[in-house]
Amino acid sequence: MNKSLSYLKPYISKIEPYQWEDSEDAVKQKYGLDRILHFDTNTAPTPPPCYDRWLEILKSDRKINEYKDFTYETLQALLASYTEVPKEQVVVTASGDEGIDILSKATLGPGDRFVISSPTYSMYKIQGTLMGAEAIDVPLRAPDFTLDETALIAATQTAKLLYICNPNNPIGTLQPRSTVERIISSSPCLVVVDEAYFEFGGESVQDLVLRYDNLVILRTFSKFAALAGARVGYLITNPTLADSLNAIRFPMGISYPSMEIARLVLTEDREWIRSNVSMIKLEREQMQNALTALGLQVYPSSTNFLLVRLGEQAERIVQALKEQGLLVRNYAANRFVPLCVRITIRSPEENAILLQSLKGILNGTR
């Protein structure tokens, strides 16, 4: 009898791993395709312009054998400039997911409770469960997917940690600032506002971190900076809390190449960041109109994606798109957003390809 699992924490078995769509290589091989378009991962359509410059630096510097800026001071200072906060309030992390990991380790243990609002980003629950804590789910209220303010505040009275995903993933909705602030001010636990899609919504509560000592802002370079593969993120909070969080992060969690391209995108590509975000927002509006014209229900979004209700044919449509190399995020079986898919906004040309294929599938010609 294999006793391997007996050596692990007992609550490991409760964890449902993060779910991806099928891998690019697997889809190519299965359907004989040479091109895949990712409308499933909320990533940017192209890398930032500094990409070629980054490759040149890696070739000339040739320091992959050394530890580089293990303090993260250079990137911390650049982020302070980008976010317009003192650098003492910034915690650099190896992706937003490491931020979640750090916060879970710092606050949760066996028997503790943390609060989420489904549907939401699944890593909150995974990391909390890994620490032996219990997830208290206060679902968003249908049909508009608003936060249940009263129930959330009540749940936090016995909790150590609350996550608010704003704008929400996978829906895309942006909760009113006044609602978020009331929840922060009324919660006796740490409140993490995940602003991974902040640049596409334009509204933040980062200015409140000095007013409320229980507030942490979580962000990532994966969306606004087109660096999903680099795995770089950051937290914004008060200096006292930032010091403690910096003390428990991995000492060199971000690789030297990732650190370099994150530095470059903040020093050389800020104008591109603004123009790319503007392009995505314009395309989001056009895609919403086009999908609505096809007779589909499209939820309002303040992100770089749209949640679309396909109806009873959702699974068939997802499969038909996949066979054409078009991957969307399938939520058809999700009890909170049934019969829906999440569609990433990409370039105008790529969006046109998806719309044309989807129109053909709906009309029965593809």
Domain parsing of the chain, residue ranges: 4-47+271-362, 51-268
Contact 168, 145 (CB under 8 A): yes
Residue 291: is its pLDDT beyond 70?
yes
Q: Is residue 141 pLDDT above 80, yes or no?
A: yes
**Entry pTM:** 0.94
Task: Give the pLDDT confidence of 215-267 residue by residue, as tens digits.
Answer: 999 999 999 999 999 999 999 999 999 999 999 998 889 999 999 999 999 99
Q: Which amino acid is at 286?
A: Q
Contact 265, 273 (CB under 8 A): yes
Q: What is the pLDDT of residue 251?
A: 83
Q: Are 118 and 336 in contact (CB under 8 A)?
A: yes
C-alpha 333/C-alpha 237 separation (Å) is 37
- Confirm if 317 and 357 have CB atoms less than 8 A apart: no
**Bigger pLDDT: 16 vs 99:** 99
| Angle at the Cα of 14 from the Cα atoms of 12 and 19, rounded to 5 degrees | 95
> pLDDT of 149-166, one tens digit each?
999 999 999 999 999 999
Of 3.90.1530.10, 3.40.50.2300, 3.10.310.10, 3.40.640.10, which CATH number belongs to 51-268? 3.40.640.10
pLDDT tens profile 36-92:
999 999 999 999 999 999 999 999 988 788 887 778 999 999 999 999 999 999 999
- Domain formed by 4-47+271-362, architecture: Alpha-Beta Complex (3.90)
Report the pLDDT value the prediction gives residue 62, as an integer from 0 to 100.
80
The pLDDT assigned to 365 comes to 58
> Please, what is the Cα angle at 301 between 121 and 165, to 5 degrees?
30
Q: What is the pLDDT of residue 10?
A: 82
